[in-house]
Chain A
Amino acid sequence: MAQNLTRYAYWQFRDFIRERGLALIITSTLLGLTIVAPMRVMLGSGIGEPDAKRILILALPQIVFISAFIALNGIISTDRKLGYYRFLFSKPVSIPAYYAQYFVISFVGFLAVFAFLLGIFAIVVRPVNPVGALAFCAIVYLSFGGIAFLVSSLFRYDWPILAGIYLGSAVINGFWAAETGWRMVIRNLLPPLHQLSPNDLINLGTVDGRALVWLLGYSALCFAAGLLVLWRRPIG
């Protein structure tokens, strides 16, 4: 990757924290409180590690999916919509490389935000080993990231489409979980987020290898397609 772009990573990280990181912290804290606070009251002061993990398993999926949506929507389309690309890409920069780097930077920022939120959880509830929870956050981001990147490379108003895909995936996977034929094909075309089990990761520290390969493979294909769109289609 070009040195100028590598050095620009600092500015991209700053942008992520200022423009999305704070929104993520506020949204996640408020959302988390609605789940964590009643349980905290119910369980009283003597919360053991198993109870803390149960609270986390309940709260985390609710927060992480919406947070991934906040972190990823508009990752490319915002610059196109607001015309920021005009100044950025008159410089010697490859457009696909710029956004690929921003995707990685956002991933790092996303994990940093959740590390911070797990710190708050440790203070409010009790400390738990954060590795499983962070791994769950990482997998959600990467699984959702590919399709978000592709949609954002294609459409200026990507968030309603992304929300539709996300909700569609949740609904179809709920109703057509055991279906075969064309319904199975449609189910498989949508992001396979139902493959994720927070319980395995947080409680047992394990992950279903086949599900992980499916999730990340699906996302990698979408991400590559997004890069292809950026490479082939003019941004103006």
Chain B
Amino acid sequence: MIELRSASKTYRPLFGRPVTAVVDFSLQIAEGEVLGIAGPNGAGKSTLLSLLLGYLRPTSGTVLIRGMEPRSFVEKNGIGYLSELMTINPNWKAEDALKRFATLASVPPGEIQTRVNAVIEELGIGEHRDKKIKALSKGNLQRLGIAQALLRDEQVMILDEPTHGLDPVWTQRFRGIVEGLRRPGRTIIIASHNLDELQRLADRVAIIDRGRLQRLVQTGYHQATDTGGTYRFSVAAGAHRVKELFPAAVDTGEGEFELAFGSIVELNSALSKLIAAGVLLAGVMPARSVLEQQFREAVGEKG
């Protein structure tokens, strides 16, 4: 289990005012859980991850990974980590970089080449293995970063903006990779600006802003049935009837309307009325996900 107890981190520059990046942060992350971290730019996500990796120490409070200080845990076990900043020496070749990381990750010497080949295959970077890091595109570099995090069967994985720079195909594949990584005893933390991705991958999402934990959102579609929300209708015929039946409906143009419901029962009742009135519906979907709604409420419009 990972535990943050009232953890705060204040940067004290030599010149200028101190900046508090994480404030009184308390959270427990269970083994086997996938936790998402979302927040606007400058919310304190990177500082929080640095605290978890032991690259920074909290100014006050405690951070523990399986009862150990983060640095002690990392030095003993390692963490599967993908940094948002792909800071790998640009003069290293892609395959050599993976061999280096595999060596440091304590992959037995006889298995290094096999493991490196496996992650190269899994991330589809075979044709780039002899290229220097500086010659890789953003997407390929990101895939290399993910590959090095997968070199060993780690108990804790921290992925910072994992799909940044990936094309839609690899974004989709990455989701499959994370699903494959789920197992009892492994904790996965994913920090991302992509709320849709967190909604799909995480069990819970911590929304942080101004260094504080603003909300902890349970993801999963059952939430939508309980809380209702705003839905978008695409209407193929009979659009004029929508406003007659539901004056509160917002016409967003091109036969699309948005309407808020208190519950999923209310939504179904409205759909029945529309169909009975001769409205031909082409599609119904949530206007925004539960997570997006919670995010907007937690951080306001700046997010």
Which residues of A does B touch, CB under 8 Å?
Answer: 2-5, 7-8, 11, 15, 18-19, 82-94, 234-236
Residues on the A chain within 8 Å of B106, using CB: 2-4, 91-92
Which 8 residue pairs across A and B have the least CB separation, nearest first? A236-B55, A83-B87, A90-B81, A91-B104, A92-B78, A86-B83, A4-B106, A236-B56
Among B55, B85, B91, the residue within 8 A (CB) of A234 is B55
* Interface residues contributed by chain B, number (CB under 8 Å): 32
State A139–B132 Cα separation when bound (angstroms).
37
Residues on the A chain within 8 Å of B89, using CB: 15, 82, 84
Among A5, A87, A92, A235, the residue within 8 A (CB) of B88 is A87
Do A84 and B103 touch (CB < 8 A)? no
Contact A91 to B78, CB < 8 A, known contacts A4-B105, A8-B104:
yes
Residues on the A chain within 8 Å of B199, using CB: none
Within 8 A of A (CB), among B49-79: 50, 53-57, 71, 74-79
B131 contacts A by Cβ under 8 Å: no
Within 8 A of A (CB), among B86-130: 87-89, 91, 96, 100-101, 103-106, 109
Residues on the A chain within 8 Å of B100, using CB: 8, 11
Residue in B closest to A93 when the chains form the complex, CB atoms: B104
Residues on the B chain within 8 Å of A18, using CB: 91
State A64–B101 Cα separation when bound (angstroms).
34
Tell me the minimal C-beta distance from B103 to chain A in angstroms: 5
Among B96, B103, B145, the residue within 8 A (CB) of A4 is B103
Tell me the minimal C-beta distance from A200 to chain B in angstroms: 41
Contact A86 to B81, CB < 8 A, known contacts A4-B104, A7-B109, A91-B101:
yes
Residues on the A chain within 8 Å of B78, using CB: 90-92
Residues on the B chain within 8 Å of A93, using CB: 75, 104
